[in-house]
Structure 1
Amino acid sequence: MLGLQYFSFEALWSPWFFFLMAALVIFYFYLAGPWKEKHASNEPKVTGWQKILFVSGMIMLYLAQGGPLDLLGHMMFTFHMVDMSLSYLIVPPLVLLGIPAYLWRIAFRASFWSKLSGFMHPILTLVLFNMLFSIYHVPLVHDYVMTHFAVHRIYYLVLLVTSFMMWWQIACPVPEWNRLTDLRKMAYIFANGMLLTPACALIIFSSTSMYATYSDPEIWARAMGYCIGGDSGSLLAKFTGPTFFNLMEPVEDQQLGGIVMKLVQEVMYGCILAYVFFQWYKKEHKDSEDEVPDHGALS
């Protein structure tokens, strides 16, 4: 299906990346179980819901950056945008909320981190992530990143870090480190959606294929060579380019990818916005009830 049968197990499943993700999950359960009982027994128990969130985040990150979706993202722009959506819009809040507060406090208790607190200013994290994401989808930048292995790895890592920094403002797992009120969080989420819109609109409404990675066979082969590794030349020589795997024209694939990204963004931000709104409403409603005087007690 979609040409995946032509590729090796290593190219499809990236075993080394799988082992890294598995090691992180094992380490998480160790910190949430035996280590906690020995060193942080007074802290609240890690809930089953937190474990589900963390493991789900790790699975999605693996699929997007190391599993078959990663390979498909080099063949079709639509899958590339699915990978981006999973990696930077869905995984960060799942991981942030899945890791208990006491682990965050321990991880950032060194005085060194307080000197870097300025980098976590909400406006800076908002602009930084959306700027890097938008610049990445400028055609010249995208094609360069996709065809230069070291740059590709570094850029994706920086995007992942900045996405966590941005989501920290919305899904901060440590209550006393929360910088934004619920109302400001709602404004922050809305601003994120607005800042991502120009890049998505450019992709969706373009009448021509903008990315050589998905239309030029030579550039596509270079990008695929970094993705599958090994003796990729003999394998890629069998194919005429990305159109061999794509049932759509490059421009249609590009437009669909932009739509996917925008839809995932709207759904994700919409759900988070609704959650924050109802949390704010419940808090305000409870506070107003607490302020009502008890006339029965006065009589």
Structure 2
Amino acid sequence: MFGLVGFDWASLWSPVTLLLFVAAGAGYLYVTGPGRARIPGAEPVPAVKKAWFLGGLFFLYAAFGSPIDLLGHMMFTFHMLGMSFAYIIAAPMLLAGTPEWFLRPIARLPGARGLKFLINPIVTLLLFNMAFSIYHVPTVHDYVMTNFALHTAYYVLLMITALLMWFPVICPVSTIDKLEGFKKMGYIFANSVLLMPACALIIFSGSPMYGTYTDPMLWATAMGYCVPQGATVLLEMFSGPQSLAWMPPLEDQKLGGVLMKLIQETVYGSILVYVFRQWYRRENPKRDDGGDSLDPTPAYFERLAAQSEPAK
């Protein structure tokens, strides 16, 4: 495996990134706690909602600040694990933990109405899946990975498009939560389908696709943005006796694609079941006597017959 013995604590845990996420979590807890009294219209935020948001920050830090981020520059499997943590798991958790009143100031910003098209389900459906698929075109991926500023900008773009993609499903604003029932289920299914070609290309490729995991110079360039070691030391890590690979590059690539698809399908499937249950409950509300308003079972008709029989 890629050995992490030669890397210091700062390279493994990104203390600056850690401080940023701790500050973000503390700021969220203050605004939704003691600071809420200073915000007009702010309402109490349930503990479970706070847990969702803090959990989202945790997964986001795991993707971009923990050893997973460093390993993601060494093995494609960890790269896809980080992608899954950030865009498939953290993004919906952050939205689930965002109170509605938190977003009201954004809606009042100049030009906000003109950007309303960005939360159109068709637009959000296409934006993330296109951005994700384009990023994993080999030439694009290698270029982005070896250019630090572009790498950072593209990851921010992916995060924005991921939040927009999840917005119609986990909409924090009740007044614009228009996607319901089968439409929301269809939207989730469509997201799963649109991500499939990129994963299939990665999984079924007959050869390694990405130079940043096979070319020592490209790898050293990408790694140089993450760790303080010089290029000579990095090249020795790539090909020396403590060489950094668990498995051949092609198997690593295939495992990464499979892992991404499994996590995606697990999360999408879980949310699909939740959305279906919510829709079913709305369509079949409970009666005051404990029965369902729409109950086509034999027991329902037996109750009706018993109620209609004349008293003896």
Which TM-score bucket, shorter chain as reference?
Answer: over 0.9
Range with bigger deviation, 249-258 or 13-22: 13-22
- 2:140: which partner in 1? 141
- 2:298: which partner in 1? none
SS of 2:268 mapped into structure 1: helix
Matched residues in 1 for 2:78 and 2:174: separation? Answer: 36
Q: What is the TM-score when the length of structure 1 is the normalising length?
A: 0.92
Mind listing any 5+ residue stretches in structure 2 that lack a counterpart? 296-303, 308-312
Deviation at 1:182, TM superposition (A): 2.2
1:127-146, CA deviations, whole angstroms, 9 ceiling, x for partnerless residues? 11101100111111111110
Percent identical:
47
Aligned: 1:223 with 2:228: no
Q: What is the TM-score when the length of structure 2 is the normalising length?
A: 0.88
1:98-136, CA deviations, whole angstroms, 9 ceiling, x for partnerless residues? 111111223323343112111221101111110110011
Matched residues in 1 for 2:294 and 2:247: separation? Answer: 61
- 2:26: which partner in 1? 26
Deviation at 1:287, TM superposition (A): 8.1
Determine if contact 1:221/1:241 at 8 Å carries over to the other structure: no
Counterparts of 1:285-296 in structure 2, within 5 Å, are: 285-286=284-285
Range with bigger deviation, 281-290 or 53-62: 281-290
**Letter of the structure 1 residue corresponding to residue 238 of structure 2:** T
Determine if contact 1:204/1:255 at 8 Å carries over to the other structure: yes
- 2:104: which partner in 1? 105
- 1:128: which partner in 2? 127
1:63-91, CA deviations, whole angstroms, 9 ceiling, x for partnerless residues? 11111100000010000000000111111
**Letter of the structure 2 residue corresponding to residue 232 of structure 1:** G
Deviation at 1:216, TM superposition (A): 1.0
- 2:197: which partner in 1? 198
**Letter of the structure 1 residue corresponding to residue 199 of structure 2:** C
Deviation at 1:231, TM superposition (A): 4.1
- 2:233: which partner in 1? 235
Matched residues in 1 for 2:205 and 2:235: separation? Answer: 30
SS of 2:285 mapped into structure 1: helix
Counterparts of 1:148-163 in structure 2, within 5 Å, are: 148-163=147-162
Matched residues in 2 for 1:281 and 1:241: separation? Answer: 57
Please say which structure displays the higher CA radius of gyration.
2
Deviation at 1:43, TM superposition (A): 4.3
**Letter of the structure 2 residue corresponding to residue 179 of structure 1:** K
**Letter of the structure 2 residue corresponding to residue 268 of structure 1:** V
Determine if contact 2:2/2:74 at 8 Å carries over to the other structure: no
SS of 1:116 mapped into structure 2: helix
SS of 1:91 mapped into structure 2: helix
Determine if contact 1:77/1:253 at 8 Å carries over to the other structure: yes
- 1:82: which partner in 2? 81
1:206-258, CA deviations, whole angstroms, 9 ceiling, x for partnerless residues? 12111111111111111101122x34324314323499221210000000000
Counterparts of 1:268-283 in structure 2, within 5 Å, are: 268-283=267-282
**What is the count of residue pairs matched by the alignment?**
292
- 2:14: which partner in 1? 14
**Letter of the structure 2 residue corresponding to residue 202 of structure 1:** L
- 1:47: which partner in 2? 46
- 1:183: which partner in 2? 182
Matched residues in 1 for 2:25 and 2:167: separation? Answer: 21
* TM-align CA RMSD: 2.1
SS of 1:192 mapped into structure 2: helix
Determine if contact 1:216/1:241 at 8 Å carries over to the other structure: no
Determine if contact 1:50/1:98 at 8 Å carries over to the other structure: yes
SS of 1:277 mapped into structure 2: helix
Deviation at 1:178, TM superposition (A): 0.7
